[in-house]
Structures are given as structure tokens and as C-alpha cells.
Homo-oligomer: A and B are copies of this chain.
């Protein structure tokens, strides 16, 4: 099995994980079959779709509809088996697969944007992050839930670090794209997995919440 095939298969695993975690994020609030499939599909392909619209290229799922079929099937299965999937150990496995998808999609997107030489160096980083978290943002907005931008979950920051490192390293060492891509994917996966494993959050001094508490304490 060559690198491209492996990447493709991992991309499908990521698509499944995104769709499943997307559905499981909304099932506790009561949703019907149609809503579950739409939100699972949007979580899986939403980020990449917005990226392609901004890049001005055809959407990635038009040429390869497997992404749609896999995302829809995974959403359907997640809807039907959500009692099983929300068991603690199963759900944790899904979170790690979701982290794998995050790492794959972010670096693949940054790679795509570097290749077509679009708005270097900032755009590849932005598009990497957008591809990884855009679908989840869309889902939360459509489901009326707080988006991850307003939560202290350590989710987008690992992705951003990985994408920044990828673009900087590729500009300095353009001869090793595969190696750098692999290393940065592993970095994102490791950081996000650590956050899941040790239940890490964004430290309070990096949020404005902490400042408010400080000033409240000061005024008391």
C-alpha cells in the first residue's frame, strides 16, 4: 500500500469519525433521522466545502462522492446506535479517531493550499484550521449550541500549532514535504490526544474569563 492510498483510507476514517462525533454531539438534545444525517454530513464535509469555495476550486466531494456516501452511512449508523456509541469507552475511541481526522484534514488542506500557491504564508494556515473545525462550527450553529470558539476545549489550538509549524517548516525546507506533513500530523494528533487523555483545557490566563474574575476579586 503506497502513501496516497494510506492517506485516502485515513481520510475516510477521519470522515467517519467526524460524522459520528457530529451526530453524537446533537443526539442528547433530541433530533430526528433527517436532522442527524444533515448535521453529521455537514460536520464531515462542511469545513472542506467552505475551504474550496474560498479557494475558488470545485468542491472536493464532487469528484469523489465516496466522502458523501461514507459520511451519510456513518451518520445513519450513529443515529441508530447512539446508545451504544455514547458508552464511555466507545465514545473515547471516537474522540481519538476524531483527533486523527483533525490531524489528517488540517495538514492535507494546508498542503493543498501551499500547492496551488494561494496566499502564502497565512492562507494555508487559515485554510488548514478552517477545514478541520469549520464543519463542527457549522453544526453547532445550526443546532443552536455554543461553538467551540466559546468553549475552553483544547481543540483548535493543537490544529493551529500544527499548521503554523507545517507552513514554516515547508518554507524553510521545501525538499521534505512528505516528512514535514507526517511530523506535523503526528504533532496535532499527539497534542489533541493528550488533551483528551488528561482532560486538558485552555489555561485560564489565556482567556478573558480569568481577567474578569481577577478584576472582580480586586474590587471586592
Binding site for B on A (CB under 8 A): 26-36, 38-39, 41, 49, 53-54, 56, 58-59, 61-62, 65, 68-69, 72, 79, 82-83, 118-119, 122-123, 126, 137, 141-144, 146-147, 149-150, 152, 156-157, 160, 202, 206-209, 211-212, 215
Nearest 7 CB-CB pairings of A with B: A30-B209, A35-B149, A32-B202, A27-B208, A32-B207, A62-B119, A68-B122
Given the known interface contacts A53-B54, A141-B141, A147-B142, the answer about A31 and B83 at a Cβ–Cβ threshold of 8 Å is: no
Instruction: Assess the A123–B54 pair: CB atoms within 8 A.
Output: no
Q: State how many angstroms separate the Cβ of A88 from the closest Cβ of chain B.
A: 15
Q: State how many angstroms separate the Cβ of A155 from the closest Cβ of chain B.
A: 9
Which residue in B149, B160, B208 is a CB contact (below 8 Å) of A142?
A: B149
Q: How many angstroms from the CA of A178 to the CA of B83 in the assembled complex? A: 45
Q: State how many angstroms separate the Cβ of A80 from the closest Cβ of chain B.
A: 10
Instruction: Assess the B206–A30 pair: CB atoms within 8 A.
Output: no
- The chain B residue with its CB closest to the CB of A203 is B32
Instruction: Assess the B61–A58 pair: CB atoms within 8 A.
Output: no
Given contacts A34-B202, A65-B123, 15 further A-B contacts (CB under 8 A): A31-B207, A31-B209, A32-B207, A35-B150, A38-B149, A38-B156, A49-B54, A53-B54, A54-B59, A61-B119, A65-B122, A72-B122, A82-B208, A83-B211, A144-B147
